[in-house]
Structure 1
Amino acid sequence: MNYELSETPEAERGPSPDRLSHRLRWNKVPEVTAYFWIIKVLCTTVGETAADLLNEKAGLGLTGVSVLMSVLLAVVLVVQFRTAAYRAGVYWLAVALISVVGTLISDNLTDNMGVPLETSTAVFALFLAVAFVVWYRRERTLSIHSIDTASRESFYWLAVLFTFALGTAAGDLVSERMALGYGLSAVLFALAIAAVTVAHFTMGLNAVWSFWIAYILTRPLGASIGDYLSQPTGEGGVGLGTVVASGLFLVVILGLVVHLAVTRKDVAESPSATRQGA
């Protein structure tokens, strides 16, 4: 899906000169191309398998692994915020780590605190909705084509974190609690994304909301794929194991990110900065 996320960035009143003066020339988020969706799904898959792998092998327990990965994510996000433009390596590393952290947040609520998946799914959906409302009230846009200020980037990464946590809880709810299995769950989420795509291109579903709905759905899709490949055959999986599955997807992600870093095919100039210089 190559959505053109067009939305009036500053509402009818237009951006103030002061706010424009703080805009970055380059958008901090990549163009939404086929590369974007492929790497996104792969990152969500790694988020699921890597979280399971770390929890099994690190010997730190679920809480200890969660703290460690959260610290690593914080460090990478600091680097991401300090860059003046989108950098493929930093950006996708942040996405991969936030996928792991989002998975661990949901797993902590379910496994350590005994929160039902129905409750955690509803709570994360509420948190995401609140983040979107505050983001829109503050910036008058939810378009990822306008992530060119620190404020917008903060809202963006907060929303991304909630989408990963929500997707993890919703995916586990469908595949495990509803006992549909990993393979069937992956098919259902893929069909849901296809339905959003059709609604966008043929029925005029808003581009921004089409993007975010699809973005949310890629999380349980990737998680279901990851579980299907890594879990034992007796539990409905293929039996590759978390090490092989994580390594396989990491290699593919690395290859694609290096390709994008070299070719810069997904780098976009900020629309607001373009208008400012016009």
Structure 2
Amino acid sequence: MTGSLGFLLATVPFSAWIDLLGWRAAFFSAGIALCLSGILLYIVLVKKPRQLFHNESVTVKDETQRENISLILKRIVLNRQAWALFFCHFGVVGGYVGFISSWAVPYGMNMYDLTRSDASQLVMVGLIGALIGAPLTSWIASRLGTIKRPYVIVHFIILTSWSAFLLFKGNPPLFMLILLFFIIGFGFGASALTFAVVRQSFPIKESGLVSGFANTGGFLSAVLLPGIFGKVLDHFQSVSGSMTEGYSYGFIIPVIFSLIGLFGVSTIKEIRQPESAEPESSV
């Protein structure tokens, strides 16, 4: 959720910051803010805990070094649940991050004749959806007592949303485009459920590595989608000179990615908490 807030600040607010200070000063100030954030994180996460829990940290360090990390990695790679989470994150993250970060603004400018600032507002709509999606889907999952069911629904909605771009040949009405960006962003926010499944399915000593493994799926698709999308646009622009046709076929890529994500979330084996634990907690 906080990551989506950072994405949000990098759209219209950062564009206004650039207009005010210019490119060099805006990026320089952003770099200073990142450096200060890194120093603050080091103080809060490393230095302070060492001072407060010096003896305990030594004990924990000795215990964690007993497990061979290569054995843990081998177990993860051979684990069906880990691969299900990998493909799940591949589908829900890549289409959003890969398209939003690279092609959303050019898409708005080319297909709807929007200014760069107006097109970046479309990105902001998706990020607002992500901010709402993360806490809301987590709350729904906790109320239902299941993670898989709402997550499958979210994946299906994302697949339907990307398919809508194909249905309208890459050029849906503007009001519908805004709604689709919001829904896809909402689905991206729901990707936090991936890590909830990790914590539910794996022991603490393995959950960090499994989270990284699942997150790799998301980053992999986010890297693959912009390049493949660009190849499709270049092909149709050189063959027919039509950018519209290129976009209409380019949206096949996030649809395929979403299908992979739906397959992944469908194969997740959910481990539910025993019902007998509920009365004890209520007492």
TM normalised by structure 1 equals: 0.35
- Which structure: larger Rg? 2
TM normalised by structure 2 equals: 0.35
Q: Which one has the bigger helix percentage?
A: 2
